[in-house]
Amino acid sequence: MFDLPSIRVGRAFGIPVEINASWIVIFALVAFSLSTGVFPSIAAAQGAPWWLFLIVGSLTALLFFASILAHELCHSLVARASGGHVERITLFLFGGVAQIDEEPGTPRKEFLMASAGPAMSFVLSGLCFGGFVAAATYSAPWWIWAPLQYLAGINLLVAVFNLLPGFPLDGGRVLRSVLWGITGDLLKATLWASRAGQFIGWSMAVGAVLGVLRGRVDLIWFGVIGWFIASLAGNAYRQQAFKSRIEGVLVGQVMSASPEYVDGDLSLEQLANEYFLGRRHSRYPVLHNGSIVGIVTLPDLKTVDRPDWAFVRAIDVAHTDLSALVVAADATVESVVERLAGDVPGMLLVASSGRLAGVITRSDVLHLVETR
């Protein structure tokens, strides 16, 4: 996320919880704002030492992000109860996100999953407001009731904002689930929800620009969030369109059958001269005595000094983790897309009865998407 590292800080109900490095920025901003602006402006807090403002502001910021974690945790628990697998929850610059491996399979499941987060935020807002009223009634010190008042308001804001009817906000998922249920067409429902999300996001961004031009520099962050929402909304439709085009297609239907391959005993010198220089491919399946051994790529040659190419075989430098490189012809294209996008050398080997039947590459998948 943002190409920044994340660290795992624990588990909640068995779900890994991570903090992205970008989260430090937003935590510091919230803590600073509370410590230097919000709490010092309270009449009852006048004269309090700076270190007390810093402690109360920092603890309140932590409680706010604990609320965000609870929001995402509710999404995750409902998704898991519906049969989904939650890989992790990550707190980052724009809040939190639950990494769920599969989209909900029905409109009802999506509606329940999307509604769970805002429902938790409403509950937390109500609890904090009740605590604030009780603390204020019994004349508790400001450093007790002020954080509760802030948390009641910010959780209410989180709930209402997330219910705006545009993807990727929770309200956008609720909208998609309703449209999906009415039309029976997930792709069309995603298109409408994504367009609504783009409208909301770009409206926020334009409003922020107009505000900044009038001197409201504080609206810059509002505009950044709007841009982020609009970008994710557009990506959501593209991803769903991609998924719909490959859905139900088997690897054997799109693979390149009878591919060129090299023998594992071939020297790197022969491999370079006869295959990489003489032909157009940059990677080849490697077989030995007719059995699949792995894949060799052009960069693999660079791991061996040029004078040694005559003595080193293709099998010696090939990628040989067959569990990662080999797929069955009756596997779905959807199931191998992530593997092709990962660390594999741009190709998966398709096996039938232990023999090489073909290969599937990223280009094969893109061709399928473009022509289907």
3-state secondary structure of 313: strand
For residues 252 and 302, the answer to whether their CB atoms sit within 8 Å is: no
370 a catalytic residue: no
Query: What distance in Å separates the CA atoms of residue 73 and residue 84, rounded to the nearest whole number?
Result: 13
From the candidates 18, 72, 269, 334, which is the catalytic residue?
A: 72
Output the DSSP codes for 200-214: HHHHHHHHHHHHHHT
3-state secondary structure of 290: coil
Query: What distance in Å separates the CA atoms of residue 64 and residue 30, rounded to the nearest whole number?
Result: 9
370 is written with which tokens? Answer: 């473009």
Handedness of CA 338, 71, 25, 204 (dihedral sign): positive
Q: Is the peptide bond before 168 cis (omega within 30 degrees of 0)?
A: yes
Beta strands (DSSP E) in the chain are 6-12, 15-20, 86-92, 95-100, 256-257, 262-263, 283-288, 291-297, 326-328, 347-352, 355-361
Pairing mode, strands 283-288 and 291-297: antiparallel
Beta strands (DSSP E) in 60-161 are 86-92, 95-100
The residues annotated with a catalytic role in the active site are: 72
